[in-house]
């Protein structure tokens, strides 16, 4: 009888321990959940003396650098339906991969000059990228550039996958890194509206837009916005809330006579992009994945229709086989002229996204 009781107790503990662990993760995540205010002034690092923009043309590069962990050799557990377990897919990449990807990003920035760089998924000091301060590292190779960091993922510990405590994502601090040849007079982080239901929201990014104000000759301003909108948004509800919020802000700026360049990872296809451009199914996702055609119909959606900017992370990248997409692009106000746009094909060697470069001119 004692043996039976011991066996039952052992089985009970086997059941209780995972439950207690999950409850502890949820309590810890709730108590430490990053909840930023709607508007936060950003520190401007390495402020230089170049303030008023006098150049008639300007160049911009956007790139989601994938925190140095999502190069061509990577898959990702969450894109494979992971939450409880990784199912053999990558959670934290090997250090050699992270170092290779960051070195590739550094080399790209050195060899692709621009006046503005708008980067997403720049890790500050996260476990998944071995606490390498990528924001600082990229800034050091852009001498004379001012910069801002707008955090959108901050947690002392992300306990995913839930049932692999030895393999969790760990401490997280990541966000938008914006680098400029000019110094903005003001930079502001705006928290985008909408949220996932509890407890999902504990583990998702706090999406934001980083607005930067640059004076130009004539008394007006150039507003440069770095964005990274919601992903994993079934039905597109969050995307719609965020796009409505941004549209209101953009309209107000334009109505005052300012100029706007907005760029980044929108996690949806630009208006007027054709689904068949990269092979039909690779772009077919009706759930919040397409910007409506009537969203700023008189503004300019700027993208390279011949170059994909994103690839699926279900498996390591295989050219010609992996699903590809176009979700990184620019929105430019009507009072600016587009001189050129180029998607830069790197075969997803250093990130699951690819850079896009544009040159604009003041009308």
> What does 56-78 look like in DSSP terms, one character per residue?
SEEEEEEEE-GGGT-STT---GG
Same domain, 22 and 41: no
Report the alpha-carbon distance of residue 116 to residue 212 in Å, rounded: 11
**CA end-to-end span of the chain:** 89
DSSP state of 277: G
Same domain, 19 and 165: no
Same domain, 102 and 221: yes
Same domain, 51 and 173: yes
Same domain, 216 and 309: yes
Report the alpha-carbon distance of residue 327 to residue 347 in Å, rounded: 16
User: What parts of the chain have a pLDDT lower than 70?
Assistant: 1, 14, 18, 21-22, 28-33, 49-50, 196-202, 234-236, 272-288
Same domain, 18 and 109: no
Tell me, what's the pLDDT at 329? 97
Report the alpha-carbon distance of residue 334 to residue 339 in Å, rounded: 13
Report the alpha-carbon distance of residue 286 to residue 284 in Å, rounded: 6
Same domain, 20 and 96: no
CATH number for the domain that contains residue 208: 3.60.10.10
- Domains identified in the chain, total number: 2
Tell me, what's the pLDDT at 22? 67
Q: 288: phi > 0 → left, psi -120 to 50 → alpha, else beta; which?
A: left
Q: Global pTM? A: 0.92
Q: Which domain holds residue 54?
A: 36-362
Same domain, 27 and 41: no
Per residue in 1-35, pLDDT (tens digit) is 678 777 777 777 767 776 776 677 777 666 666 78
Same domain, 193 and 240: yes
Tell me, what's the pLDDT at 336? 98
Tell me, what's the pLDDT at 63? 98
Tell me, what's the pLDDT at 31? 67
Same domain, 18 and 154: no
Same domain, 327 and 346: yes
Same domain, 2 and 74: no
């Amino acid at each position: 009888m004692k043996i039976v009781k011991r066996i039952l107790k052992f089985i009970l503990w086997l059941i209780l321990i995972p439950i207690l662990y999950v409850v502890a993760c949820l309590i810890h995540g709730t108590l430490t959940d990053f909840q930023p205010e709607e508007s936060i002034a950003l520190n401007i690092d390495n402020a230089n003396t170049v303030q008023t923009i006098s150049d008639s043309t300007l160049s911009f590069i956007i790139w989601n650098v994938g925190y140095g962990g999502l190069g061509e050799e990577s898959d990702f557990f969450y894109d494979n339906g992971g939450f409880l377990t990784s199912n053999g897919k990558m959670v934290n990449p090997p250090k050699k991969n992270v170092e290779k990807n960051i070195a590739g990003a550094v080399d790209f920035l050195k060899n692709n000059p621009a006046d503005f760089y708008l980067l997403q998924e720049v890790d500050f000091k996260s476990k998944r990228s071995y606490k390498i301060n990528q924001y600082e590292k990229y800034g050091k190779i852009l001498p004379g550039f001012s910069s801002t960091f707008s955090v959108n993922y901050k947690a002392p510990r992300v306990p995913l996958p839930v049932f692999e405590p030895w393999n969790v994502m760990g401490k997280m601090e990541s966000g938008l890194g914006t680098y400029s040849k000019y110094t903005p007079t003001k930079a502001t982080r705006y928290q985008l509206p909408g949220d996932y239901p509890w407890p999902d929201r504990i583990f998702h990014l706090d999406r934001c837009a980083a607005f930067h104000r640059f004076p130009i000759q004539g008394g007006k301003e150039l507003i440069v916005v770095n964005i990274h909108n919601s992903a994993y948004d079934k039905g597109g509800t969050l995307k719609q809330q965020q796009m409505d919020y941004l549209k209101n802000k953009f309209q107000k700026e334009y109505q005052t006579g300012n100029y706007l360049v907005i760029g980044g990872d929108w996690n949806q296809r630009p208006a007027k992009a054709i689904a068949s451009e990269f092979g039909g199914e690779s772009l077919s996702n009706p759930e919040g994945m397409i910007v409506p055609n009537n969203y700023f119909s008189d503004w300019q959606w700027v993208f390279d229709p011949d170059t994909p900017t994103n690839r699926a992370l279900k498996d390591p990248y295989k050219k010609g086989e992996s699903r590809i997409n176009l979700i990184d692009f620019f929105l430019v106000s009507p009072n600016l002229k587009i001189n050129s746009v180029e998607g830069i094909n790197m075969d997803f060697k250093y990130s699951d996204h690819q850079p896009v470069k544009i040159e604009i001119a003041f009308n």
